[in-house]
Amino acid sequence: MIQQTTLSSRAWIELTLLATIWGASFLAIRTALDEIGPLTSVLHRTFWAMLVLWIVVILRKQALPKDMRLWGAFLVMGLLNNVIPFSLMAWGQLYVPTGLTSIFNAASAIFGIVVAALVFADERITPRKALGVGLGFLGVCTAIELEALKDFDTGSLAQFAIVAGTVSYACAGSWARKYLAGVPPLVAAAGMLTGSALIMIPLTLWGEGVPSFAVSASTWGAIAYYAIIATALAYLLYYRVLAMAGSGNLLLVTLLIPPVAITLGAVVRDETLQTGDYLGFALLVLGLSVIDGRLWHRRRTTV
């Protein structure tokens, strides 16, 4: 994918829309967790999104995958990109504000650089990337407030669980590059969610029992939002933005999501974040901008 350095007005609008959809998903998930368990919330997310995407695949008459090795790759991809991070983050959100969860989620791009460098020879860490990764790690540590870990509690464990979820996202990115190259994006997304649902069904039954459908309308609304809109439809929008803006510009989504999540968490759930959380996010933004490099290149060319 060619990295584009400029964005059209349409690309900006759709990029902002995608960030808004994903930013609001943190609030929707937290709303559902008031009534259902973390594993049940993930099962709903993967199952309904899977159905929607396969319907789209069929309507677009795309070929269905038949290679069993590819289905095995989908299963692992579902584990790394959905089951592990969704479950860890959903449990973490029981104890961590939605805004802070979204800030930790932004670190997935930082961890992705490190994992890719360990897996692929052409993804070596340059001095600029090393500086950006270092700033990103510093941002995560600042948001976690390592000093507070002297009194380690469930909230501290929840923060580490969310960060572990972002590491799983990073591993998923490298797995997709290695084993899903050449697979149509829509088919890959549907296959991945199928693998996720196949894992989540027995896992949920074992951990939380048979999901109850006797939940409130607000919970069903939250489930519908984060499963259908923020997962299935967001994947479709994601690939549209990727085609228009290029992979490099998609880093902007990572930076636009936390302000949305922080605002919604404060307005709807009366959540407040600490100064260190905002400072940590600022360091993450700085680290990602260094990794991206274009802002710094522009500064050098205009001086």
Q: Which two tokens stand for residue 138?
A: 């510093």
Task: State residue 141's pLDDT score.
Answer: 80
Would you give the DSSP letter of residue 211? P
Q: What is the DSSP string of 62-96?
A: PPPP--HHHHHHHHHHHIIIIIHHHHHHHHHTTTS
Q: Which two tokens stand for residue 98?
A: 């939605």
On whether the CB atoms of residues 287 and 110 are closer than 8 A, the answer is: yes
Q: From first to last of its 303 residues, what are the pLDDT tens digits of the chain?
A: 344 445 677 778 888 898 899 999 999 999 999 999 999 999 999 999 999 999 999 999 998 888 999 999 999 999 999 999 999 999 999 999 999 899 888 888 888 888 888 888 877 888 888 888 888 878 888 887 665 556 677 888 998 999 999 999 989 888 888 898 888 989 999 999 999 999 999 999 999 999 999 999 999 999 999 999 999 999 888 887 777 766 666 667 778 888 899 999 999 999 888 888 888 888 888 887 777 665 555 555 444
Query: How much is the pTM?
Result: 0.88
Q: Domain coordinates of the chain in residue numbers?
A: 9-302
* Residue given tokens 């997962």 in the structure block: 231
Distances (CA, A) of 173 to 36, 160, 177, 179: 29, 20, 6, 10
